[in-house]
A and B are shown apart, each in its own frame.
Chain A
């Protein structure tokens, strides 16, 4: 039986960049445990020698002609930006104190 602890959920939330609250972690830990117990049923087939399917249709590389074609203008690309400056996305610093 799988089980997922509150600490694990907190770790996963950090990995997924979710600043989850204590209340959420309490709630999610119980709910995710229930869900995992239900979905773990797929393990019954894990020993079977069948190939995995990632896509319903076979995937092949799709190429196009290497020619210029219309695309978003700079103004369009920045139109939804939370913050922009001098035609660029304005972002917070990307390195932490320790870096």
Chain B
């Protein structure tokens, strides 16, 4: 195994910019690693070998004449297959967009390219980002590098697994109910959901537009911060984009890494423990809170009484928006068309129904039906209307909590990674994975997950979730970076170094 693939993005960028190693060599090392282990992991749906090497060569040419496009120029990245790319298929993990080659790049894709970041390929995901295990991908599940029989989280399981398998040092995810943070937690990696509206949704295939938010995934807090500053920023192509400067998250991560949290007030969310929480996850969380105290933070308990309604509100709002968003898949302009060879005899409506039946998987259908129900006359007030009220109450819980403390902390997800297949027949059990992550999607504030150790009973990673107010993303980076340094010191090195060696399994 090349040592290049074990470096952090910041260290790899440093070597590339000092011309100790070329961007092409760095890219090739990761492509070799993908060829070696992705048969077993299945993090990627598409690997763009030629495009990646060409992009890397361009970075090397620029560096040779003294131009460095960004602090991450030359570093390879795995892009979730929900972001459009003009040079690679974008499937969203769905058969309905199999082989679809978009005619435009997402804003996030454009910014990555402009920063000289090398896109290795597109990562696997639950179909339309609906799921918490990546088992809902139409192209087969992704396997968790910590234990190949287990899920890597979802919906961004391909992105999280690519990091834990050392196939890429950086990845992009999207988080509608926890799809960046929960995969981060169960793979021992860092996942960040920035404040809603700070990363453009243009070219992000929509699931639930009022909740969807793209963000950085990495193996260290600093790497996530560096990527955050590349992808964030105002975009006139997204009507919900916030026209404000990017928060100083890199500076905050560096400040945090000095290990001093004196003067920082941390609130522990009282409601996020108890029944349904795995003991090892709670133990990791309690140890993390103690570590924050040792770093000088003042820790208090905070109650957010309406968070218990968040799961219900989410599973009404997200399916409602999805049922509307996914109406665009009508078999007319792009994507799959199924006409059973009888196009002349069938109506547009019949073709659309046959196509959607064949092109969507069970979870997508369930949510479309659920959303159609929640929005229908007679049920709207009871379901969608109440869910929107819950959203207000949860935002108020956050507002009142952030009057008392600077950041909130909780476990990222109630359990460690479960076995592939274990919860697939029980949608409600699957939904419970998102219990702790959903409130920040409903309120739109920033939240991240940082590895918090291995659960004693199964040796699998758990995550510490740090939540910050909207447009104060830097606070959570500072706290997470301080915690990361302290935990690494206390546990004898980064958690990710304890991921088992993957044996080469050819596809």
Contacts and interface: CB of A to CB of B under 8 A. Distances in A.
Interface of A: 4, 8-9, 12-21, 24, 27-28, 31-32, 34-36, 38-46, 48, 50-57, 59, 62, 64, 72, 76-77, 79-83, 89, 91-96
A59 B391 CA distance: 16
Nearest to A84: B333
B386 A56 contact: no
25 contacts: A16-B323, A16-B372, A19-B356, A24-B365, A31-B366, A34-B427, A35-B427, A38-B428, A39-B387, A40-B383, A41-B308, A41-B309, A48-B389, A52-B385, A52-B392, A53-B389, A53-B442, A55-B210, A56-B210, A57-B242, A72-B104, A76-B103, A91-B332, A92-B339, A92-B348
B246 to A, nearest CB: 16
B333 A42 contact: no
Given A12-B376, A42-B316, A89-B333, 18 more contacts: A13-B369, A17-B349, A24-B362, A24-B365, A32-B370, A32-B373, A35-B315, A35-B366, A36-B370, A38-B428, A40-B383, A44-B309, A53-B388, A79-B101, A80-B102, A80-B103, A81-B333, A92-B344
Given A41-B309, A44-B309, A54-B388, A34 B372 contact: no
User: Which one of A41, A54, A57 has the highest number of Cβ atoms from chain B below 10 Å of its Cβ?
Assistant: A57
Contacts of B256: none
Interface string B425-464: 0011001000000000011110000000000000000000
B26 to A, nearest CB: 33
Contact of A19 (B306, B335, B354): B354
Interface string B320-333: 00010001001111
B-side interface size class: 35 or more
Contact of A42 (B242, B376, B387, B395): B387
B240 A18 contact: no
A24 B357 CA distance: 10
A19 B427 CA distance: 21
B346 A92 contact: yes
Contacts of A43: 382-383, 386
B335 A53 contact: no
Contacts of B210: 54-56
Interface string B367-404: 01110110010000111011111111101000000000
